[in-house]
């Protein structure tokens, strides 16, 4: 389970710490947020204590209608051990009972100038990125005509050389050698490069080159959604490779299935052009045109015509 800390959230959104400083190391483990209106009203049957608790104008105004005893009771219930923090929006004045129990329990109360709905959207997106499941795969990630293509294959087969040729043809490099992939809640795979090797490309015999410095800022991207995989493998004379493209294979990365094509490597084959065409063909399929299906249909129609003429 991926986690982040309250201190990271506070720094990212420039929030002001009002109380509970010793709890800044508390961990946030879920992306959902909670506005505990029912609990403030005394309904204790269900409470998502593991979520960040938000107090907006409605919650603060209702809280101020309670007696001091009710306020302390409600806050002692809300500020539980697994609760990461409380966020108060719109720079609202925070009642002293909240700060009192916050310091007592060591639970941070943060103040933001953003409106409640705005903060909900921003924090949710932030947490989805921070807490998304991740993995690292050996390969090269490129952006070809807007299609995120992950090039995979054994070491030394020519992945980086193909990526270099693609960059020279006007496409963009995202990551070389190690691709960090995170899976969003929408089951999208988002790839990026580890910070240490960002924008770098290793070419055997030449060494490490900086693609951004050499080809310009337009030759690189920091992140890209992965749409398809190209698997490079050494040509095997007796293996049957796909020739029409009717059968679409997929590969499972984490919990997401994405299309994969296998490209055999042999001397004289221009891998960069083949990968570029594969990306263009993938775009055409998404737009509703499949050349293989179109060819198969024309072939079937011609066979039917010949059969009818023989009759």
Q: What are the structural domains of the chain?
A: 4-131 (3.40.1390.20), 134-295 (3.40.50.300)
Report pLDDT for 308: 62
Report pLDDT for 243: 72
Report pLDDT for 2: 78
Q: Is 138 in the active site?
A: yes
CB 198 within 8 A of CB 190: no
Report pLDDT for 248: 82
Q: Is 269 in the active site?
A: no
Q: Is 177 in the active site?
A: yes
List residues forming the annotated binding site for ATP. 153-160
Which member of 12, 68, 138, 294 is catalytic? 138
Taking 50 as the pLDDT cut, the residues of the chain under it are none
List residues forming the annotated binding site for Mg(2+). 160, 202
Which member of 90, 130, 177, 285 is catalytic? 177
Summarised one tens digit per residue, pLDDT across range 156-207 is 898 999 999 999 999 999 999 999 999 887 788 999 999 999 999 999 889 9
List residues forming the annotated binding site. 153-160, 202
Q: Which residues pair with 88 in a beta bridge?
A: 55, 111
Q: Is 159 in the active site?
A: yes
pTM, 2 dp: 0.75
Which member of 159, 171, 182, 224 is catalytic? 159
């Amino acid at each position: 389970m991926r986690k982040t800390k309250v201190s990271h959230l506070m720094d990212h959104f420039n929030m002001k710490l009002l109380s509970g400083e010793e709890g800044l190391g508390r961990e946030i483990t879920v992306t959902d947020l909670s506005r505990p209106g029912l609990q403030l009203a005394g309904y204790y049957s269900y409470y998502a204590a593991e979520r960040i608790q938000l107090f907006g104008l409605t919650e603060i105004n209702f809280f101020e209608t309670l007696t001091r005893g009710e306020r302390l009771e409600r806050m002692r219930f809300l500020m539980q051990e697994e609760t990461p923090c409380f966020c108060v929006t719109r720079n609202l004045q925070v009642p002293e009972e909240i700060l009192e129990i916050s310091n007592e329990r060591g639970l941070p109360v943060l103040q933001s100038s953003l409106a409640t709905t705005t903060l909900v959207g921003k924090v949710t997106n932030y947490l989805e990125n921070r807490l998304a499941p991740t993995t690292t795969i050996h390969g090269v990630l490129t952006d070809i005509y807007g299609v995120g293509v992950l090039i995979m294959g054994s070491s030394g087969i020519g992945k980086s050389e193909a990526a270099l040729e693609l960059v020279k043809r006007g496409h963009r490099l995202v990551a070389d050698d190690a691709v960090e992939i995170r899976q969003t809640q929408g089951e999208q795979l988002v790839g990026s490069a580890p910070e240490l090797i960002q924008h770098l490309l290793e070419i055997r015999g030449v060494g490490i080159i900086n693609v951004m410095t050499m080809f310009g800022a337009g030759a690189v991207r920091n992140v890209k959604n992965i749409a398809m995989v190209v698997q490079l493998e050494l040509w095997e004379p007796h293996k049957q490779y796909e020739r029409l493209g009717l059968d679409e294979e997929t590969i499972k990365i984490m919990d997401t299935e994405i299309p994969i094509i296998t490209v055999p490597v042999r001397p004289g084959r221009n891998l960069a052009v083949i990968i570029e065409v594969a990306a263009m063909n993938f775009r055409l399929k998404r737009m509703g045109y499949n050349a293989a299906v179109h060819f198969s249909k024309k072939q079937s129609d011609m066979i039917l015509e010949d059969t009818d003429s023989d009759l």
